[in-house]
C-alpha cells in the first residue's frame, strides 16, 4: 500500500476577517453558517482572495443571503465564461437559526453582519453576528477603553519587572 503525501497545513484557518465590523457595530449573538460556493470560488479562497468589507446578511424568501462578499478569481483556475466576484451567495443555516436572525433583523436597529470566513475541515464557514450600529461617541469610547487597557498592561508589566531587577 502506497502512503499518500499530505499537503502542509496552513498556520491559520482564517481566510478573511471583517475588522470594520467590530469598529462600526456593537456585536451581539454569533452564528456559524456554511456557504454555497462554486468551484472557482473555493480555489480562490484557498489562495486567500476574499474581502469582507461592507458584507451583510439579507433575509429573503426564508433564506439567508450573503451580500457584498468579494472573491477575486484566479487567472489560471477560472474557465467560466462569466464570473461575478461579488455575486449574492446563499448561507446554509438551520431553521431555528434562520428564525432567530429573521426575528432580530426585523427589530429596529439590528442587522446581521459577516465577521469572518474560515476553514472548518474542508468546508468554508462564515462567522455571523447580530449587531447594532455604533454612534461616533461610542467609537471614541471604545478607543479610549482600548488605550486604557494597553496602559494598564504596560503598568502591570513594568511593576513586575522592577522588583525583580532590584
> Could you please report the per-residue DSSP string of 1-36?
-PPPPPPPPPS--EEEE-HHHHHHEEEEEEEEEEE-
| Torsions phi, psi for 26 (to 5 deg) | -95, 110
Determine how many CB atoms are found less than 10 A away from the CB of residue 129: 21
pLDDT tens, N- to C-terminus, the chain (166 residues) = 455 555 555 556 889 898 888 788 888 899 999 999 988 888 888 888 889 888 889 999 889 999 999 998 887 755 666 777 888 999 999 999 999 999 888 888 788 999 999 999 999 999 999 988 877 777 788 888 888 999 989 888 888 877 655 5
Q: Rounded to an integer, what distance in angstroms lies between the CA atom of residue 109 and that of residue 51? A: 25
pTM, 2 dp: 0.71
Amino acid at each position: 500500500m502506497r502512503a499518500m503525501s499530505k499537503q502542509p497545513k496552513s498556520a491559520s484557518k482564517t481566510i478573511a476577517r471583517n475588522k470594520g465590523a467590530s469598529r462600526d457595530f456593537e456585536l451581539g449573538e454569533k452564528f456559524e453558517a456554511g456557504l454555497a460556493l462554486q468551484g472557482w470560488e473555493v480555489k480562490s479562497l484557498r489562495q486567500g482572495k476574499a474581502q469582507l468589507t461592507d458584507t451583510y446578511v439579507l433575509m429573503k424568501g426564508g433564506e439567508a443571503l450573503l451580500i457584498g462578499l468579494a472573491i477575486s478569481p484566479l487567472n489560471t483556475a477560472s474557465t467560466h465564461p462569466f464570473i461575478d466576484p461579488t455575486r449574492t451567495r446563499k448561507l446554509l443555516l438551520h431553521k431555528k437559526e434562520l428564525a432567530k436572525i429573521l426575528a432580530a433583523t426585523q427589530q429596529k436597529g439590528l442587522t446581521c453582519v459577516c465577521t469572518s470566513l474560515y476553514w472548518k475541515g474542508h468546508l468554508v464557514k462564515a462567522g455571523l453576528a447580530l449587531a447594532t450600529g455604533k454612534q461616533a461617541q461610542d467609537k471614541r469610547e471604545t478607543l479610549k477603553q482600548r488605550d486604557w487597557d494597553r496602559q494598564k498592561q504596560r503598568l502591570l508589566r513594568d511593576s513586575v519587572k522592577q522588583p525583580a531587577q532590584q
